[in-house]
Amino acid sequence: MKQRWITFTLAGAIALTAIGGLAACAPEGGGGGGGVDANTIQIWGPGHETSFIESRLNAYVQAWEAEHPGEKYPYKLVQANAGEDDAENKFNVDATACGDVYHFASNQLMSLMEAGGLARISPDMETRIKTEDMEAVVEACKIGDGYYAYPYTSDNGYCLFYDSDVVTITEETTVMDVIEQCKAAKKQFIMPMKDAYYAASFIYGAGATYQATYNNSGKFLSSKNTFAEKPAGSEYSYGELGGKMLADLFELSNSSAKGYTATVIAGGNTEVETALNTEKFGAAVTGSWEAASIAYATVNGEPLKAAACALPDWVSTLDGNTYHWRAFMGYKMIGVNPHSSHLAEAHRIAAFLTSEESQLAHFNEWYVGPSNKKVAESDEVLNSEYSFSFKAMNEQREKCSLPQKPCPQDYWNNVGSFAEWLMDYNANISDPKTPAADKKDLKTRVEQLAKALTQN
C-alpha cells in the first residue's frame, strides 16, 4: 500500500506555484463581479483538495494551449480555499464578491439560487450530464425546467467506517454490537452526535419524514414533518424513538458509571483524525471525505484494515424493536457564478473539472464516489483496493439512505438544539435527586420540535 501525508488547511491563503496561468489567493475580494483583475477567474474549492484542484487546472490550461498552438492561455486562474459547506454563507452575503467557479454540496442548491449564485448550464452541457452522469445526481441539479450545476460525486453522505481487525460486521450486527467490539479492543467509536446532519438519523430510521418546498427562484415556501407521529401499533412517536437512541449514545459518552466514556466519542473529523493518529480508531460514523485518511492509516506499523459498510441497525430501548439507521445521502457539485466577468470560460472550467477524466482522477486521489456512470462502473474503480468507501455508500443508498434535499437553516438550528437537549436526558430522568418539575419530557420536546419544523 502506498503511503501519503495529508495536510489539511483550515483557513487563509494557499501557496501554489504559478504554472500555466495558475495562482492562488484567499477568498476575500472574490472573482464574481469584479475579480482580482480583469483577466482573473477565481476557483473556490475545499482546502484539503488544493493540490488536486491545482493539478486539474494545470491540465486544463495545458489542454487549451495544445489546442491553440503558439498561444498562451489568456486568463489567470486563481484558486482559493472555500469549502463546499460554506458556499451558501458567502453567497448570501454578496454573490458579486464570490468565486467564478465554486464547489458546493447539493443541499445548498436552493439557497444558492435565491442568493443569485447559480448560472444555468447550456443545453449542450445539459445533454452531457444527462448522458454521462447518474440520473438521481443529475435531477438534484435541476430547478424548474433548467439545470444549474455540474455534478461530480455521488456519495456525499455517511456510513460506518471501521478497522476490520477490531469490528466484524454481519447482517445482524447492531450499533451496540459495534460499540461492544470497540470497547473490548480498547478502541474508539466516533459519531458527531451533536451535529444536526447526523442527529436526526435515528428519527428518520424510526420512520419519520420531512419535506421542504421551494419555488423556482430558490425561495423557501413551506415545510412539514411526521416527527411527532407514531408508527402503527407503537405508543411512542418517531421522534421519541430516535431521540432516545441518540440520548443513549450521549449517555455512554458522558457517564463514567457505564464504563464507555473511553470508547464512545461524540466527535467528528478532528476526533477521527486523532484516533487514527493515536491508533485508537475502531469505528466511526463519517463520510467519504475521511476515506483517504482511513485508507492510509497504520496500526503498529502495518496498514489499518480499513473497511466500510451501510450503517448498522439499532434496537430501541423504548419499545425493543429493531430499526434501520437512515443516513442523508447527497451529492457534490460545481456551480458557476452568473456575475462572473468571464462567464463562458467559467462554464468551460466547471465542465472540465467534472468531466469523466477529472472524476476518475478525483477517485484515484480521494476515493470518493464518482457521479459519472462510466467511471463508477469501471474496473479501475470497482477493483481498486480503495473502493471500500464507494461500495459502502452504494450499499447505504440501496439499504436505507435518505435523499438529501435542500432544508432551510431553521431545520438545522432546531435539530441541533434538540440534540443538545438530549445530551443529559438520560441522566436527568434517572437521577432521583432531580425534582419532578425539572424532569425532562421527551414527548413534549418532540412535539415542540415537530411544530418548529412545520412552516406554512
When divided into structural domains, the chain yields a total of 2
In a domain, 193, yes or no: yes
pLDDT of residue 32: 58
pLDDT of residue 117: 98
Question: Are the C-beta atoms of 296 and 9 separated by less than 8 Å?
Answer: no
> Tell me, what CATH number does 353's domain have?
3.40.190.10
Using only C-alpha atoms, the chain has a radius of gyration, in whole angstroms, of: 23
pLDDT of residue 96: 96
The model's pTM: 0.87
Q: In terms of domains, do 187 and 301 share one? A: yes
pLDDT of residue 30: 42
CA–CA separation, 99 vs 78, rounded Å?
9
Cβ neighbours for 411, distance < 8 A, ≥ 6 positions apart: 196, 210, 212, 223, 453
**Which set of grid coordinates corresponds to residue 112?**
444558492
Question: Are the C-beta atoms of 294 and 159 separated by less than 8 Å?
Answer: no
Question: Are the C-beta atoms of 272 and 283 separated by less than 8 Å?
Answer: no
Identify the three-state secondary structure at position 139.
Answer: helix
pLDDT of residue 6: 28
Q: In terms of domains, do 150 and 170 share one? A: no
Q: In terms of domains, do 227 and 310 share one? A: yes
Q: Where are the beta strands (DSSP E) in 29-69?
A: 40-45
In a domain, 394, yes or no: no
Q: What range does the domain containing 194 cover?
A: 156-328+404-452
Q: In terms of domains, do 321 and 434 share one? A: yes
Mean pLDDT by 10 residues, the chain (456 residues): 29 32 42 64 95 97 98 96 89 96 96 98 98 96 97 95 98 97 98 96 97 96 98 96 98 90 96 98 95 95 97 97 93 97 98 98 94 97 93 89 90 97 96 95 98 94
In a domain, 393, yes or no: no
Q: In terms of domains, do 335 and 324 share one? A: no
